[in-house]
Chain A
């Protein structure tokens, strides 16, 4: 199912279908939201209403709820861009013919998780100074003799494992879903080609399973976009309020 590169045509390396999809997603999102937001009226039309609902979901449902306070609006653009960028790129996997979630290749996930990683560290340092690293790794209220164990765990979990899980969670779910749907498709094809009518018949069962997996995968696509954005908001909130954690 992996389509070869577009430029040079058919080669293994080069400008791949994935890259085209990434750029298309940027165009889709930008065009949709600029159109929805362009003619702003107090009583919204259908398009504006849809845009506002989508924007409000990230703004109020994620940024305001998790980060809160008066400063949450500063982080809305990042969260908003992340959510819809990942959402559209995931949904590609559920669209027939395209059927390719961008993040089934790990590169994009690394980039986004990296952006988030440096963002929340920068926010923490800006807010608390270099003391932030102490706040983030030395938990308060822990007896001194446990600290030698706790501090390395905190360092590893916060500064090493966090970005890795953040990126791999997205990548792995997308790749796995993609593979399952692909394998089911191949399996159906294989079974239909069999001579025995009974074996042919079993392909119906696989088809039913494949449809169920497709539905599940579509759900996971939306869910992972939400989870990635939600975790970003939680990391930023943690960096902002490091002293109270």
Chain B
């Protein structure tokens, strides 16, 4: 070992470390030139291509995402608008239906009222006319009966129409006053 150190030391005296070995310089030059060639020709272009593609992919992706986002919010806006429209429409229809229903109800009520009034009026008229007819027939019948009765009692023929009518009228008028007084 001592010898090795000594030989190294003596070698150091003989060889100045700053003086290069020309062959080594040549090998480094050639080796570095080959490396440069490979790097320029293959390595850098391939990496740069990937970098560029990646940047493009990322930026393109961002643009695509932004577009999708915009589309989505537009669609959302549209749906909201449609929903609002639909709600307004529904409200309107409901209001209309309610109004229409109320109208129909009012119409029906009115019609029913008119009908009932008409029926009542008709009934009144019929009753009135029947009563009238009854009064007339009753009067003539009562008159006939009364005259016949009276004629039989009196023995006098009351077949004379004028006279009979007068008698009957008077009789009836008496009756009416009597019944009116009784009603009172």
Q: Which positions in A face B, CB cutoff 8 Å? A: 13, 15-16, 18-19, 22-23, 25-26, 29-30, 33-34, 37-38, 40-42, 44, 48, 51-52, 55, 59, 73, 76-78, 80-81, 84-85, 102, 105-108, 110-112, 115, 168, 171, 175, 186, 189-190, 193
Q: Which positions in B face A, CB cutoff 8 Å? A: 1-2, 4-5, 17-25, 27-29, 31-32, 34-36, 38-40, 42-44, 46-50, 53-54, 57
Distance A29 CA – B32 CA, assembled complex (angstroms): 11
A77 with B39: CB separation less than 8 A: yes
Decide yes or no: A106 and B17 within 8 Å by CB, A52-B47, A186-B5 being known contacts: yes
A102 with B35: CB separation less than 8 A: no
Label chain A's interface by main secondary structure.
Answer: helix
B54 with A105: CB separation less than 8 A: no
B47: contacting residue among A15, A22, A55, A193, CB under 8 A: A55
B39 with A106: CB separation less than 8 A: no
A26 with B35: CB separation less than 8 A: yes
Decide yes or no: A77 and B40 within 8 Å by CB, A107-B22, A110-B20 being known contacts: yes
B20 with A52: CB separation less than 8 A: no
Decide yes or no: A22 and B57 within 8 Å by CB, A40-B50, A52-B50, A76-B44 being known contacts: no
Distance A168 CA – B18 CA, assembled complex (angstroms): 9
Decide yes or no: A42 and B54 within 8 Å by CB, A19-B24, A108-B28 being known contacts: yes
Q: Which residues of B contact A51 (CB under 8 A)?
A: 47
A108 with B24: CB separation less than 8 A: yes
A73: contacting residue among B1, B48, B53, B54, CB under 8 A: B48
Q: Taking the nearest CB of chain B, how far is it from the CB of A56, in angstroms?
A: 8
- 29 A-B contacts (beta carbon < 8 Å): A16-B21, A16-B24, A19-B23, A26-B35, A30-B35, A33-B42, A34-B46, A40-B47, A44-B50, A55-B43, A55-B44, A73-B48, A77-B36, A77-B39, A77-B43, A78-B36, A81-B35, A84-B35, A102-B28, A107-B20, A107-B24, A108-B25, A108-B28, A110-B20, A111-B28, A168-B18, A171-B17, A175-B17, A186-B1
Please, which residue of chain B has its CB at the minimum distance from the CB of A54? B47
Q: Taking the nearest CB of chain B, how far is it from the CB of A194, in angstroms?
A: 11
Q: Taking the nearest CB of chain B, how far is it from the CB of A215, in angstroms?
A: 24
Q: Which residues of B contact A105 (CB under 8 A)?
A: 20-21, 24
Distance A13 CA – B31 CA, assembled complex (angstroms): 19
B18: contacting residue among A13, A76, A106, CB under 8 A: A106
Label chain B's interface by main secondary structure.
Answer: helix
Please, which residue of chain B has its CB at the minimum distance from the CB of A185? B1
Decide yes or no: A37 and B29 within 8 Å by CB, A77-B40, A190-B1 being known contacts: no
Decide yes or no: A81 and B39 within 8 Å by CB, A42-B57, A106-B18, A112-B32 being known contacts: yes
Distance A112 CA – B32 CA, assembled complex (angstroms): 8
Q: Taking the nearest CB of chain A, how far is it from the CB of B125, in angstroms?
A: 102
Q: Which residues of B contact A59 (CB under 8 A)?
A: 47
Distance A107 CA – B17 CA, assembled complex (angstroms): 10
Q: Which residues of B contact A85 (CB under 8 A)?
A: 31-32, 35
